[in-house]
Chain A
Amino acid sequence: MNSFLLATTIENWIEGGSIWPLDLIFSLAPAGVWAAIIHTALVGAFFGLPAGVLIWAERKVAGRIQDRLGPTRVGGRFGWLQTLADGAKLIQKEDLAPDAADKMLFRLAPYIVVVSSFAAFMFLPFSEGLVAVAMDAGLFIALAVLSIEVLGIVLAGYASGSKWSLFGGMREAAQMVSYEVPLGITAVIPVVVAGSLNLGEIAQIQSGGIQNWIIFHNPFTFFAFFVFFTVTLASNKRAPFDLAEAESELVGGFHTEYSGMRWSFFFLAEYASMFFVSALGAILFLGGWWTGVPVFESLFESIAGTLAWILGGTLSLLGVSASSDYLAICFGRMIGMTVLLAKAGLLVVVQIWIRWTLPRLRIEQVMTTCLKYLVPMSCFLFLGTVLWPLVLMTALGRTSLVDWDSVGERVPIPQQTVVAPVKPDTEAADEEAENISDELNDDSVTQLDVVSANAVSGGSE
């Protein structure tokens, strides 16, 4: 049995002895180091690739909305390599720092922005179990890390030594300090419904039908999603809230003095965090990696099963034994990831659409929108979500408005497979199956045993 399919973490897989040529490399450093490197590379791919695709999408959508074609030539038909060409151009540019700038802070500011945006991706689950760091305060930490991004922008504006940049930085600081409040409150609304800060659990709880999505949980969460979406527009400095870089008044705002790679870091971070908040919105409100249609779920399950059967058969012909049950879980999670990426991509397209449709607000209109409308609205929606089950329970005797014969279980689906190190005495093997997750920390044992925790029957011995 291939331990890759059974391991809950990459570190677990490396410790359990990976496949032949790789284990020689892995023996050079502790498993934790290799796991960190692999995680960083994977998260980096999810940080960079969607950002690249979205920059291309921005050009295409903007072109179509303005009755142009957008990029058409680079890379063949649709100009799909335009982002890469831009990147190659930007790398070659001279890295300038103005005389009046505070050189150290000027050079460091883009890194703060890009690192905080990148670090937020660590806590984003792409599908069941596909997350770099599964933390139980995941949502809270992700928002905390993302909030550091504004610091880099303010520093960039201040350190540039230019009036335009300073104005951009000040507007950004004022805007972000205000919009953090409704962002936090609307992000807490799904937490109240789900009863967990763990993003993986919040998504798992929305399995089954579309009626289990948190956006359809009650009328307050329905409106909360739109407030959340508006606030994320502002927190990413997207039009109509892009006061920090208002081209018509401030030249380029906080990034006026930047060139080359440092300039592109700001944009990489902006598109990456656009994608991040969209994926966050999809997880919090729109069912995460679940399609919402039970027929599709069973269809995907059978597709994953077929793929697993084919691959498992091929592997067994090659002499590698791999249980098709575990392969099916792997493929199912991959399909789930695709669903989540599609939802997040759709939300980003809406962001782009709004940017090229609405005119920019003035700074005092931005502040009025936040302080006079969004903050009271989010407080009211939060209160409503808290009171909703209480009122329904008193009036109807149940906590949902319509008496659904709900397909999904409103409990998180537990993790299905793990590899557990074997203790010297194997008497307690049955009880181990219950306490697998506790065992994973135990470093003192080296041998591996494969235990199926629940649900999966095949291939456990």
Chain B
Amino acid sequence: MGAFLFYLYAIIACGAAIAVVLNQNVVRMAFWLVVSLSSVSFLFFMLDADFVGATQLLIYVGGTVVLLIFGVMLTSSGPYKTIKSSPAELVQSCIIGLAFLALISSTVFSVDWEANERRLAEFEHEAAHIHDHEHGVGHADHHHREDHSVAYGYNAEKEGNTTRSLGTALLGVRFDKDLGTTGHHGEAKLSTGYLLPFEIVSVHLLVVLIGAAYLARAKRRVEIQDA
């Protein structure tokens, strides 16, 4: 069931992405882009990354594409704006696309997935062990997988309750890493969060906002009064 849905959304995402490239009508391209981005957000939902999926929907599908269509509507001269690319542009874009594909594939294949899975299994085993220790439970078979995570609200973190962890991580606090691990060897261990990237992005956005306001402000005519 999960695998079927994954393949369904993966095929829709890829097919719609190809349709974006093959279409020549700008608004239809935007429509296929919406389909592709929505399928990617469904994939995020399937991975229990609810917040990221919703952000994808809100920002890419709801925001960017609406702005794109709005821009096309305001700027196009004819009724249905089409893009016809010259052969030189085709070659250029092919080179850029293939280079990006090579970059992404080299990244994907350079990850040691098996080692990651082993590390994950170790981490879960350790967390279960800590849980047993804390609660003084003797028996060994203990497959509460979510027990080590800090549970907020109704759903376990594995079911998509990631908002709070994401928020605290962006503020530089990693409850998910640090809470279970203190007292294991006696010393407090603090993991790094993402406060610096968060601040850099915030300042960047502020600069963009001020720049946009500066560019779009009403131009006042300077009246030179001769004495």
**Contact surface of A with B, Cβ cutoff 8 Å:** 30, 32-33, 100, 102, 104-105, 108, 134-137, 140-141, 143-145, 147-148, 150-151, 154-155, 158-159, 161, 166, 169-170, 173-174, 176-177, 180, 196-198, 200-201, 412, 415, 425, 427-428, 431, 435, 437-439, 441-442
Nearest chain B CB to A453 CB, angstrom units: 12
**Contact surface of B with A, Cβ cutoff 8 Å:** 1, 25, 27-28, 31, 34, 38, 50-51, 53-55, 57-58, 61-63, 65-67, 69-70, 73-74, 79-80, 135, 137, 139, 141, 143-147, 152-156, 158-164
Q: Which residue of B lies closest to A140 (CB)?
A: B54
The reply to whether B153 and A155 form a contact with Cβ atoms under 8 Å apart is: no
The reply to whether A134 and B155 form a contact with Cβ atoms under 8 Å apart is: yes
Chain B CB within 10 Å, residue with most, of A144, A150, A169, A437 = A144
Nearest chain A CB to B82 CB, angstrom units: 11
The reply to whether B80 and A102 form a contact with Cβ atoms under 8 Å apart is: yes
The reply to whether A136 and B147 form a contact with Cβ atoms under 8 Å apart is: no
Nearest chain A CB to B176 CB, angstrom units: 14
Q: Which residue of A lies closest to B152 (CB)?
A: A136
Contacts of A154 in B (CB 8 A): 66, 69-70, 73
Contacts of B137 in A (CB 8 A): 428, 431
Q: Which residue of A lies closest to B67 (CB)?
A: A177
The reply to whether A151 and B141 form a contact with Cβ atoms under 8 Å apart is: no
A137 and B51 in contact (CB under 8 A), knowing A161-B79, A196-B153, A428-B139?
yes
Contacts of A442 in B (CB 8 A): 143
Which secondary structure dominates chain B's binding surface?
Answer: helix
Q: How far is the CA of A129 from the CA of B86 in the complex (A)?
A: 58
A438 and B147 in contact (CB under 8 A), knowing A198-B154, A428-B139?
yes
Q: Which residue of A lies closest to B145 (CB)?
A: A438
The reply to whether A135 and B66 form a contact with Cβ atoms under 8 Å apart is: no
A437 and B156 in contact (CB under 8 A), knowing A102-B25, A169-B73, A177-B70?
yes
The reply to whether B28 and A104 form a contact with Cβ atoms under 8 Å apart is: yes
Nearest chain B CB to A131 CB, angstrom units: 10
The reply to whether B154 and A415 form a contact with Cβ atoms under 8 Å apart is: yes
Contacts of A437 in B (CB 8 A): 154-156
Nearest chain B CB to A418 CB, angstrom units: 11
Chain B CB within 10 Å, residue with most, of A135, A140, A155, A198 = A135
- Other A-B contacts than A32-B1, A102-B28, A438-B147, 7 sampled, CB-CB below 8 A, are A135-B50, A140-B55, A158-B27, A201-B153, A425-B139, A435-B147, A437-B155
The reply to whether B69 and A136 form a contact with Cβ atoms under 8 Å apart is: no
The reply to whether B161 and A136 form a contact with Cβ atoms under 8 Å apart is: yes
The reply to whether B57 and A145 form a contact with Cβ atoms under 8 Å apart is: yes
Q: Which residue of B lies closest to A149 (CB)?
A: B62
A155 and B69 in contact (CB under 8 A), knowing A108-B31, A141-B57, A148-B62?
yes
Q: How far is the CA of A442 from the CA of B144 in the complex (A)?
A: 9
Contacts of B158 in A (CB 8 A): 441
Chain A CB within 10 Å, residue with most, of B28, B53, B153, B161 = B153
Contacts of A412 in B (CB 8 A): 153
Q: How far is the CA of A150 from the CA of B64 in the complex (A)?
A: 12
Q: How far is the CA of A354 from the CA of B60 in the complex (A)?
A: 33
Q: List 30 A-B contacts (CB under 8 A).
A: A32-B1, A100-B79, A102-B28, A104-B28, A105-B27, A105-B28, A135-B50, A136-B162, A137-B163, A140-B51, A141-B57, A147-B58, A148-B38, A151-B34, A151-B69, A158-B73, A166-B73, A170-B73, A170-B74, A173-B66, A173-B73, A174-B70, A176-B66, A180-B62, A197-B163, A200-B154, A201-B154, A427-B139, A435-B144, A435-B147
The reply to whether A155 and B31 form a contact with Cβ atoms under 8 Å apart is: yes
Nearest chain B CB to A160 CB, angstrom units: 11
Nearest chain B CB to A144 CB, angstrom units: 4
The reply to whether B147 and A198 form a contact with Cβ atoms under 8 Å apart is: no
Contacts of A136 in B (CB 8 A): 50, 152-155, 160-164
Q: How far is the CA of A438 from the CA of B155 in the complex (A)?
A: 9
Contacts of B65 in A (CB 8 A): 151
The reply to whether A137 and B80 form a contact with Cβ atoms under 8 Å apart is: no
A102 and B27 in contact (CB under 8 A), knowing A137-B163, A161-B79, A438-B156?
yes
Contacts of A145 in B (CB 8 A): 57
Q: Which residue of A lies closest to B142 (CB)?
A: A428
Nearest chain B CB to A352 CB, angstrom units: 27
Contacts of B139 in A (CB 8 A): 425, 427-428
Nearest chain A CB to B173 CB, angstrom units: 16
Nearest chain A CB to B160 CB, angstrom units: 6
The reply to whether B62 and A147 form a contact with Cβ atoms under 8 Å apart is: yes
The reply to whether B50 and A141 form a contact with Cβ atoms under 8 Å apart is: yes
Nearest chain A CB to B2 CB, angstrom units: 9
Contacts of A170 in B (CB 8 A): 70, 73-74
Q: Given A159, A177, A201, which contacts B27 in the complex, CB threshold below 8 Å?
A: A159
Nearest chain B CB to A427 CB, angstrom units: 6
Nearest chain B CB to A339 CB, angstrom units: 21
Nearest chain B CB to A222 CB, angstrom units: 26
Q: How far is the CA of A166 from the CA of B51 in the complex (A)?
A: 34
Q: Which residue of B lies closest to A198 (CB)?
A: B153
